[in-house]
Amino acid sequence: MSGIFYITTPIYYVNAEPHIGHAYTTIVADTFNRFNILRGMDSFFLTGTDEHGDKIAEAAKANGVSPKDYVDKISQKFRDTWPTLMISNDYFIRTTDPEHVATVQRILDLVNNKGDIYFSEYEGKYCVGCERFYSDRELADGKCPDHLKEPEIRKESNYFFRMSRYQDWLIDHIKKNPDFIRPERYKNEVLAFLREPLEDLCISRPKTRLSWGITLPFDENFVTYVWFDALINYISAIGYPEEPAFQKYWPHAQHLIAKDILKPHGIYWPCMLKSAGVEPYRHLNVHGYWNINKNKMSKSVGSVVRPLDLVGVYGVDAFRFFLMREMTFGLDSDFSEEALVSRINSDLANDLGNLVSRSISMILKYYNGDLPVSGKLSDSDNRLRDHAVSVIDSYESFMSGTEFHKALMAVWEIVSGLNKYIDEQQPWVLAKNDHDRLATVMFHIYQGLRIVSALIWPVMPGAAETIQKQLKLPVTGSKLTLDILRKWGADKPVGTLEKSPNLFPRVELENKQSPAVDTPCKKAIDPIKPLIDFETFQKVDLRVGTVLSAEPIPKSKKLLKLTVDLGENEPRIIVAGIAEKISPDDIISRQITVVANLEPVKLMGVESHGMVLAASHDKSFSLIVPASAITSGSSIR
Ligand code: MSP
Q: Are 157 and 200 in contact, with CB atoms under 8 Å apart?
A: no
At 516, is the pLDDT very low, low, confident or very high (cuts 50, 70, 90)? very low
Domain boundaries, the chain: 4-287, 335-485, 534-623
CATH number belonging to the domain at 335-485, selected among 2.60.40.1930, 3.40.50.300, 1.10.3720.10, 1.10.730.10: 1.10.730.10
One-letter amino acid at 161 equals F
Pocket test for ligand 1, best of 260, 334, 336 (most atoms within 8 A of CB): 260
pLDDT of residue 514: 38
CA distance 339 to 335: 7
CA-to-CA distance for 285 and 189, rounded, in angstroms?
Answer: 13
User: Going along 252-398, which residue ranges are E strands?
Assistant: 253-258, 283-287, 290-292, 333-335
Site residues for ligand 1, CB cut-off 6 Å: 10-13, 21-22, 24-25, 50, 230-231, 233, 257-258, 260-261, 289-290, 297
What is the C-alpha separation between 574 and 561, in angstroms, rounded?
Answer: 6
302 band by pLDDT with thresholds 50, 70 and 90: low
Contacts of 8 (CB under 8 A, 6+ apart): 29, 45, 46, 47, 234, 253, 254, 255, 256
Between CA 128 and CA 162, with CA 182 as vertex, the angle to 5 degrees is 50
- Which is it for strands 181-182 and 283-287: parallel, antiparallel or unpaired? parallel
CA of 278 to the centre of ligand 1 (A): 25
Predicted TM-score (pTM) of the model is 0.80
Centre of ligand 1 to C-alpha 13, Å, is 8
Q: What is the pLDDT of residue 300?
A: 64
CA of 9 to the centre of ligand 1 (A): 9
Q: Which of 408, 412, 392, 397 is nearest to 459 (CA)?
A: 408
Quick count: other Cβ atoms within 10 Å of Cβ 217?
A: 16
Range with the lowest mean pLDDT among 169-173, 245-249, 327-331, 597-601?
597-601
CATH number of 534-623: 2.40.50.140
* 530 cis-preceded (ω within 30 degrees of 0): no
CA gap 9, 48 in Å, rounded: 8
Residue 171 banded pLDDT, cuts 50, 70, 90: very high
d(CA 8, CA 26): 9
Mean pLDDT over each residue of the chain, to the nearest integer = 92
User: Which pLDDT score is estimated for 528?
Assistant: 57
Measured in whole angstroms, how far is the alpha carbon of residue 175 from the centre of its chain?
Answer: 32
| Domain at 4-287, CATH homologous superfamily | HUPs (3.40.50.620)
Q: With residue 391 as reference, give the H or E element that holds it.
A: helix 379-400
- For residue 532, give Cα distances in angstroms to 110, 246, 407, 526, 535: 44, 34, 37, 17, 8
Q: Which atom of ligand 1 is nearest to the CA of 289?
A: 27
Given a cut of 70, is residue 97 above it in pLDDT? yes
Residues 51-61: what's their mean pLDDT?
91
